[in-house]
Each structure stands twice: as structure tokens, then as C-alpha cells.
A and B are shown apart, each in its own frame.
Chain A
């Protein structure tokens, strides 16, 4: 694979990109294209599948095989693509409307089956393509065109759905951090099984600044915890803040205060099959906690498309039916002779 030398240009299509100026999607696509160029996977083996929404125009801007499907169904279409051809590197591009609302059922079942697909969920907490209605990830009370007095429903936290669906890979990144995005996309691609990456994405037109509280340069260090495998969960201007269990609960602590030492700080292990701490990390939100970024969960588990292949090859080994003609003649058959005489197949003669 070392002869594969692609650049980001190899993954751009000739189509003019038509997202709004300043849209977070540009940066995300840039990170995806960089990731693909460096994965060591042949260009023709990439397939990018999307549903409906702004983000779902993605395949048209890629030079790979691509399929822009129908609203909410990208997860299912991609499942078929991967099972039909497990050699492909299959990527799903979806949004908080496409993947969490109309496609919610396919989302949880994809994760549950653990089909080897990389899913990037663009979360801008709004319906952009239909011009500004609330989505399943819109915070309670938020005012939109269809909730002029504020929503009266709870928002999904995508990582909770992943863990609740017994998912094995979940990462979170943000459109403005291309380096981190490329890092987690790479990890997602390497992980065998369904990998879900939530990208906090800014919709400049209908929900501008929705993630500002997290991205504000002035407070960013205190409000973002970038998790790295095997490293302590530290954040803050001088990396003096961290996460620790205090009386059995996850808390933000400061080293040097209340007797807290670096040894008290939790060390991140994304590979722990026990999802409880991963869930706690997923759930963290402002103002009491920083928001967790990076690869939160990365566990190996049986992979559906591989098991499908394995099952077929094992059954082929033990079955005495190897072609259609043999199937046709299997079981109970009988012969009608030229003279009309009928000979039944052998019945039960053992008793």
C-alpha cells in the first residue's frame, strides 16, 4: 500500500461546492479528504453515502464513488453497500435531522449491528436545508421557526444513543478544529465496526454561533477537554484542571486544591468495554463540566459484515449443496416415467 500517494486534490470532485460561505461543512470535508488521502486505501475503494440535508450534498463534492440517497436512509443504504462488498471503505455523512430524526431507527440499528462503517454526524442543532426548524438535538426551550415560543422537548445526545445502542466507537470533534477532526476520522476509519463521529458544526445562516460557548477562544481551554488514549483527563489554561471521581461521582477538580494530586486525575481508556465512564464523558456539558472531545470510546467487538462472510464460508464448507441444480434435487423428489408410472422417494422405513 506504500505506493499509494494521494493528496487532498485527488478526493475533490469537479463539482462546485455550494454550501453557504462560512459554513462549517467546508472544514469538515477538508478533514475527511485529508484523512482519506492518508489512509492507504485505494481511491476506488471509498464509497461515501449520504441522506438528505445540507451535509448530505457531501458525496457530490467528493471524487470517490458516492450515493446521495433519501432522507434518513443513508445508514441502511450504506449497510447494504458494506455487506454486499466488505472490501469497500464505507462512509456515511448525515446530520442531526437526517440521522437522529427520520433516520433514528436506522442509526441505532447500524450501531447495534456494528457494521464496519464510518459515520460522520454533522450536529448543528437545526434544520438548515429547510431553513431553520428545530431538530432532535435542539436544546429545550430554544426558539426556532417551528418553536417560536421555545421547544418543549428534550434533545438527544448522540453519544448516549451510540452507547445505548451498545456502540463500540464514538468520538466528538468540532468543525473549527481540522487537526482534531482528521485525527478522530483516522481513528474512526481504523476501528473495525461502526464508528460514529459527532462533529459540532456551525450553521452560519440559521443557527450561527450555536457552539460559541464551547469555541470562544477566551474560554476554550476551560470548556474543552480533549481526550487522548492513556493520558490524564486534564484541561484548562495551564492543564491544572482535571476529572476525578469524588465520592463515586465524576467531578472537575483542580490539582493543588483540596489535596488533589496528579495521581487523582482519571486516565482516559477508550478501549474499556465497560461504557459507564464513557457515558459520563459523553454527558458532560457546560457550565459544570467541559465538553469532551476526541475518541471517547473505541472498543473491539464482532463485526457484522465480517461475520456474514464467515458464516457463509463456514456453511459452504459443511453443506452438500454447492449449486442450484443440487438444491433443486435436494429433499423429497419423485420420478414420473414415460408410461406415467410414479415412483415416490423413499419414505420412513426404519421402524
Chain B
């Protein structure tokens, strides 16, 4: 399923837009200068209304400033903006046609009132739908209120206070794109050197915006995908969380089962629950539970009762679910557990990305408790791996953990739409013959038991967390326990039949094999391309199937002189490979900064290995 796409933060175009009096030009200029000082190439485009001050709040009065910045040469301010900062409804109307599909819109919630909507000639109270800006990442920020709140004790009149609104937007955007505030602070201090109150108020609001971003918890930078070659087809923009949700809905539809999701809100996974909750029209049963444990246990109940059952979370929530995952292992129920990984341990870095839950997913439970583990590698292929997770769970009667991460979950990319009829069939193992049914009677080939759904006569049975015999009765027999532990392990290992062979990007043999897994794929591929363009004899093997590993893994590894495993943790996949695929020396490149890799650092790591 890997398409030749490059995920890379090549360039971003931001459009600041508001009333002529809102200070958008200054905001845009300060942001551009700050970016230039960071070493970005920039290109800007001021867009004034012809009148100096057209009537406030009207489309004619909108003033905009677009800046495009990136780490390579930027030659235009961008035809379309990826990000729109809209201080009022008129700004949305004026700029809708300049937006890239699927971009981000940050807007002043306080200014989107009836009065301003009327001034901008909107017919309804939903300007975004009216402008056909439906699939955009809309971030409502109470810009006016926050500004007023942070200046309430300075004794300024309301008009002076509102003049600082632009600084709030600027602070927020600086946070989103990781711009330090130093340059802007210096500018303000110099420019208003003789007006200490103005300096004080602007700095306060600037910081309030920056801190708001820090606390907002869902505005990970939007990353842009530049496909090397765009295949013909119908596309949409999709982020990893929505793709995950939609993959699960697609699987339920294909399997002919209702979809049940039991989840508790947690950054950065919440959006999956939200996206599923929106789909009552497709019959999705969404249950916002009282805690993470209830999230998974309601899902386990739904699995027992015959639904495709799912729970979605991030690392801390996954930890809370551990005991219940063990129950799903023991009860041998189909269940998909999505972990959108974030920086850990503990609360860690909730809004930042990491791959440090791998060993937790594989082993983080009491007892011998094997599960299938998959990892998605781009925002849009979250759809496919969510689908595949459900397929494995339903056909093999086993819990499946799907690992994505904050980078994939919040990141978006253009996605060529799949067609439902082309997706592989899903055949749940529903019990049909009561004469032969036993709770733990297994298919000889897959070792999967049958799924008898409460409400169907003749299959009444009991399951639970205690060890059982074939009939489903409690058994403390020592040999039976050992046998069942081995069966549960074998059952997971036999899922390898559903796992495609590991593919190598680049030559089949060579000096160095770069190994990665999950959400780092875009950066790994960019690295590979650049190295190969430089004539280096390197290839890439990127894993989506972690447990079980593809059958040809050792064979692929044996064709390379050196192997380097790159991951956003301290070496979890490398140590797993040492255990499961012994006999190779695994070099490592690891990063745990809550940030994605950069191509530059990956190249440096591989080059060093080539030179050694």
C-alpha cells in the first residue's frame, strides 16, 4: 500500500486577514521577519483593500497579508494559503477562494457573531459551510476575550485593548509554527520605546496567544505533502485521525456489522472519537465513557455482543487499558485498540509526537498476553491500516493494536479516494452450527475460535478472564494452561499469513539498509531519495506489521552489509528485532524530542554509518 509520496515540510503559506484596523499587515510582517531570521526563505504578498478604511466588518474592508515560508527556495507567496487567520467573518468570505483544500482556519470566535455575519452578507450562521470550507481544520479561538482578559488590570480603555488583538493571533501562530518570540519582542520594545504601557500590553497579549497555543493541544503544525507524481483520480485532504475513523467505518460496512466505539477523550486521539461520533448516519454507536477503562470495557462488551468494537486512545490511556486488553486476549474477542502515540512517559508531551509505546503495545500486560500490532505510516494510510486491523481482529478473533502517532493523527495530506468494492472482503467468524459449537473450539489452520452472538439460540456459552478448557468451562489444569498460552501465541503468529512481504525501496542489496516503522515513513523516504541521488548505495525497509513481522524479514536483512534502525524512541524496535530477528547487528538512530525526524539528521546518521 505504500505509494511513492514524500511527506515533507516544504513550505507553508499563511494568510493573515481581518479588518483594515486590525493590524494584519504588521502581524504578517513580524511573522515573516521572524521566519526569515530563523533561516527560512520567505515571500510575502500584502493585500489591502482599496479604501484605507472601508466600513468595518464588510468584505470590502478586509485587509490581508500572505506569507509563504519554507526551508528551500521560495519563489512565490503561494497561490493558495494553507493557513488562514481570520479576525472576522468578512475575512473568511474574502479569502475562501484563496485557500488550499483542507487547510487550517484560525478565527476569532468572538467576532463571529450575528452582527458581523450580517455585515459580511452571510445568509446563515455557518460562514464556513456557506463558503464551502467544509473539510478544513477550523480552530475557534476567543481572540477578543483573551485579549481583554490579559489586559484587564492595566486600566486601558476597551478600544486600546482591542488594538492588541493582532498580537494574540501572532503569538498563537508563532507557537503553531515554532517561531521564537524574541525578534517580535525586540521590535515592540524598540518601536514603542517611549510608550511603556503599549509595550507592556502588546507583549502581554503576544505571550497570551503563544501560551494559548501551548494549551490548545490540537494545533500540531500542518505538514504538506508533495507527491512526486500525482496519479489521476479523485482526491481529498485527510488527516490521520479522520482516516483512522473512516477506515474503521469502512471495515464495519464491509463486514456487515455495526461499529461500536468506546473511548475517553485524550490528546492527540480525541479527533477519532469525534469523527466517529459524527457518523450516526452510518450507524456508528459512539460511547464517550467515564474513563479509559470503561472505554475499552464497553468495547469488549460490544464485541461480546457481536459488534465491530473499537477503543481509541494515546499512551497514558493505553496503560490504563492494559488489564482489559488482557481480558480480550483471554476471551479471544475481536477488538481494535488504536494508540495515537504522544511523548511520554506519564503525561509527557501530550501534543507532540513519539514512537515510544511500541513495547507497551507488544508486552505491557500481565501474563503471556500476545496481541497483533500494526503501525500506520502516513496520514492517509491510517485508513488502510485501521481497515486491516479490523479485518485481522474479526477473522482471527484476536485483539489488534494499531499504532499511529500525533504527527500522523494531526498531519494531513491529499489522498486518492479508495472505492469500497475494491477493498478486500472481511469475513467475521460467526458461529453457524450449534451442534458442533464450543466456546474455544478452533479453526485448525488459524487457531481462531468462533464468535457466537448473544441472542442466537443454541450457542449459549460463558467466557471470561479465567483460564478455560475447550468447552469454555473454568480450568485450573496445569497442562491446559500451558497449552492455551501456546495456542494464543501461535494464533497471533499465524496472522503472518495475512501480512504482505516486506518491500525494499531502492536496490535489493547494498551497503546500508535503513529500517523504520510507523509514522516516520515520509522522512525516511525523503532521506532515502536524497542519499540515492547522491549516489549512495542505500535502501529502505519500512515496517507496518510489527507483530507478527513479515515472513521475509530476515531474508531481506541478510542482503545488506549494515542495518540502521531509526525510530522516535530510545531503541524499542531495534531491541525487538534483536529478539525476533537475531543474527544481525542493528545500528540505531534515535530521537525523543517530541519532534519528527528531519531529513538532515537522518542523512547524517546514515552517512556516518557508510563512512565507518
Contacts and interface: CB of A to CB of B under 8 A. Distances in A.
A42, A59, A63, A323: most-surrounded residue (chain B CB, <10 A): A323
A87 B291 CA distance: 26
B420 A80 contact: no
A15 B282 CA distance: 42
B463 interface: yes
B283 A70 contact: no
Contacts of B303: 80, 84
A80 B283 contact: no
B465 A68 contact: yes
Tell me whether chain A's interface is mostly helix, strand or loop, or mixed: mixed
B99 interface: yes
Interface string B236-257: 1100000000100110010000
B133 A80 contact: no
Interface string A105-148: 11001000000000000000000000000000000000000000
B282 A69 contact: no
A89 B121 CA distance: 55
A334 B324 CA distance: 43
A332 B237 contact: yes
B581 to A, nearest CB: 34
Contacts of B233: 335-336
A85 B249 CA distance: 18
18 contacts: A45-B455, A66-B463, A78-B301, A80-B262, A84-B258, A84-B302, A106-B293, A106-B294, A106-B297, A109-B290, A316-B283, A323-B420, A324-B420, A327-B279, A332-B133, A347-B99, A348-B132, A348-B133
A324 B281 contact: no
B212 interface: no
A83 B287 contact: yes
Interface stretch (B172-180, B304-312, B440-448, B553-561): B304-312
Nearest to B453: A85
B457 A67 contact: no
Given A80-B305, A312-B280, A336-B231, A68 B464 contact: yes
Interface in B279-334: 279-285, 287, 289-291, 293-294, 297-307, 309, 323-324, 326-327, 331
B478 interface: no
Contacts of B473: 15, 60
B238 to A, nearest CB: 9
B305 A324 contact: no
Nearest to A73: B297
B131 interface: yes
Tell me whether chain B's interface is mostly helix, strand or loop, or mixed: mixed
Interface stretch (A194-202, A213-221, A275-283, A338-346): A338-346
Contacts of B299: 80
A338 B301 CA distance: 48
B498 interface: no
A70 B281 contact: no
Contacts of A87: 455
Contact of B97 (A42, A328, A342, A349): A349
Given A76-B293, A335-B235, A59 B301 contact: no
B290 A105 contact: yes
Contacts of A12: none
Interface string A50-64: 001000000110111
Interface string B326-367: 110001000000000000000000000000000000000000
A315 B279 CA distance: 9
Contact of B249 (A45, A47, A322, A324): A324
B94 interface: yes
Contact of A331 (B236, B280, B457): B236
Nearest to B465: A70
Contacts of A13: 462
Given A68-B463, A331-B134, A76 B331 contact: no
Interface string A307-321: 010011001100101
Given A60-B464, A84-B307, A348-B131, 17 more contacts: A45-B454, A77-B297, A79-B294, A79-B298, A80-B260, A84-B304, A321-B279, A323-B282, A324-B249, A328-B246, A329-B236, A330-B134, A332-B102, A332-B132, A332-B236, A334-B234, A348-B97
